[in-house]
């Protein structure tokens, strides 16, 4: 265990955590909602510092990030715990259970990532699988060391983090995929046991500091209304029409037994989004083939994707080879 950051001490050895917007008041011997920050004798400790539950070298597109070093590989690592409790969680085995872990120090993880760079062409480290925000202290220490070694850092996150820790971490983060699970406070309260507004704030702040892409998992009857999708799209467009949006297909997991998202629902969502956004993709539904990147000015095919096979065909650097338009893609 290691003492956590962002908390205050209260009377009778209670503490209040200020890492995320839950602001859990934690009694001695108890943990917060995330299950990984525990009060021991009036001191808040992080239980998952250096605890790695999963790692692998993945395609960057699996995060998903389509405009950040397309076609590259990235060393991906996760722990356990989450500050949401989504009934449809796709990674519930590690987010809401305590799986076997391997203890590792930040410098050791960075060394493994450097080896992955040499062996597999990995560009850096993606903190993913479970929620990296509740792994904050370890992610911060590791990301700082990774930058010193010239590696890129990627967060795949629900975005439910307070502004102060977010701003402290951002100098060491190169890209984020932020999951906006719905555009409804009711959905966040009932399905995720969280709130939407802090997530939107995270997207707005992160976009000012690093590359950002947004994912929306469409769950039938829960967040698939066209007016809600339109509201999400309008909000993203108000920040930047060039932010890539990924609509992802839901499959039954954890506590949800609803049927998978109909393909027509995904196609309609993309059609709605393309009225306002320049880059819209569909994930978990390769059969639709809606994952290529086209120039928003002339329509030239820029990046061809077939599953995780990627070919950059129409770019010279970050410019369209046909019309010269600057494309928001990090090469």
State the DSSP string of 64-82. T-SSBSTT-EEEEEE-S--
Together in a domain, 84 and 25: no
Together in a domain, 8 and 92: no
Distances (CA, A) of 54 to 25, 36, 98, 138: 30, 16, 12, 15
**273, part of any domain:** yes
Kindly indicate the confidence band of residue 1, based on its pLDDT and cuts at 50, 70 and 90.
confident
**112, part of any domain:** yes
Together in a domain, 29 and 169: no
Q: How far apart are CA 23 and CA 15, in angstroms?
A: 10
What pLDDT was estimated at residue 95?
A: 85
Q: What is the pLDDT of residues 108-158, one digit of tens each?
A: 999 999 999 999 999 999 999 999 999 999 999 999 999 999 999 999 999
Q: What angle do CA 277, 221, 81 make, to 5 degrees?
A: 80
Answer yes or no: are the C-beta atoms of 55 and 69 closer than 8 Å: no
- Which residues, 6+ apart, have CB-to-CB distance to 243 below 8 Å? 207, 212, 213, 214, 236, 277, 279
State the DSSP string of 276-309. T-S-EEEES-GGG----EE-TTT--EEEEEETTE
Together in a domain, 214 and 276: yes
**214, part of any domain:** yes
With 0.85 as the threshold, say if the pTM is over it.
yes
Q: How far apart are CA 105 and CA 112, in angstroms?
A: 11
Total domains, the chain: 2
What pLDDT was estimated at residue 121?
A: 95
State the DSSP string of 205-265. HHHTTSEEEEEEEE-TTTS--HHHHHHHHHHHHHH-TTS-EEEEE----TT--PPPPPHHH
Is 9 strand, coil or helix?
strand
**328, part of any domain:** no
Together in a domain, 40 and 149: no
Kindly indicate the confidence band of residue 97, based on its pLDDT and cuts at 50, 70 and 90.
confident
Together in a domain, 204 and 127: yes
Together in a domain, 17 and 74: no
Structure tokens that stand for 230 in this block? 């339109």
Together in a domain, 164 and 214: yes
**36, part of any domain:** yes
Range of the domain at 15: 2-46
**128, part of any domain:** yes
Together in a domain, 89 and 180: yes
Together in a domain, 277 and 166: yes
Q: How far apart are CA 240 and CA 219, in angstroms?
A: 25
Q: What is the pLDDT of residues 253-307, one digit of tens each?
A: 899 999 999 999 999 999 999 999 999 999 999 888 899 999 999 999 999 999 9
Is 314 strand, coil or helix?
coil
**296, part of any domain:** no
CA 167 from centroid of its chain's CA atoms: 16
**95, part of any domain:** yes
Together in a domain, 143 and 258: yes
Kindly indicate the confidence band of residue 208, based on its pLDDT and cuts at 50, 70 and 90.
very high
What residues does 38 pair with on adjacent strands? 31, 45
Together in a domain, 207 and 279: yes
Domain at 180, CATH number: 3.20.20.70
């Amino acid at each position: 265990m290691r003492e956590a950051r962002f908390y205050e001490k209260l009377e009778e050895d209670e503490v209040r955590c200020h890492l995320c917007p839950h602001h859990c008041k934690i009694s001695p011997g108890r943990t917060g909602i995330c299950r990984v920050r525990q009060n021991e004798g009036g001191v808040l400790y992080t239980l998952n510092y250096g605890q790695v539950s999963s790692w692998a070298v993945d395609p960057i597109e699996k995060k998903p990030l389509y405009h950040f070093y397309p076609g590259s590989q990235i060393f991906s690592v996760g722990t356990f715990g989450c500050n949401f409790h989504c009934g449809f969680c796709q990674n519930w085995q590690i987010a809401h259970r305590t799986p076997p872990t391997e203890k590792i120090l930040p410098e050791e993880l960075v060394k493994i990532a450097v080896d992955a760079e040499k062996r597999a062409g990995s560009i850096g480290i993606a903190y993913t699988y479970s929620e990296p925000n509740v792994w904050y202290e370890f992610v911060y220490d590791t990301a700082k060391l990774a930058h010193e070694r010239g590696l890129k850092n990627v967060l795949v996150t629900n975005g439910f983090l307070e502004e102060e820790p977010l701003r402290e971490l951002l100098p060491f983060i190169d890209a984020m995929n932020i999951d906006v699970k719905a555009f409804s406070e009711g959905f966040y309260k009932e399905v995720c046991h969280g709130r939407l507004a802090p997530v939107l704030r995270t997207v707005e702040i992160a976009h000012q500091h690093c590359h950002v892409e947004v994912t929306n998992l469409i769950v039938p009857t829960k967040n698939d209304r066209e007016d809600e999708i339109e509201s999400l799209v309008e909000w993203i467009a108000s920040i930047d029409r060039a932010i890539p949006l990924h609509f992802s297909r839901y499959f039954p997991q954890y506590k949800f037994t609803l049927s998978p998202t109909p393909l027509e629902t995904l196609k309609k969502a993309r059609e709605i989004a393309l009225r306002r956004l320049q880059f819209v993709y569909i994930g978990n539904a390769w059969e639709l083939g809606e994952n290529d990147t086209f120039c928003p000015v002339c329509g030239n095919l820029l990046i061809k994707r077939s599953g995780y096979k990627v070919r950059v065909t129409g770019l010279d650097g970050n410019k369209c080879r046909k019309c010269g338009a600057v494309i928001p893609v990090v090469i």
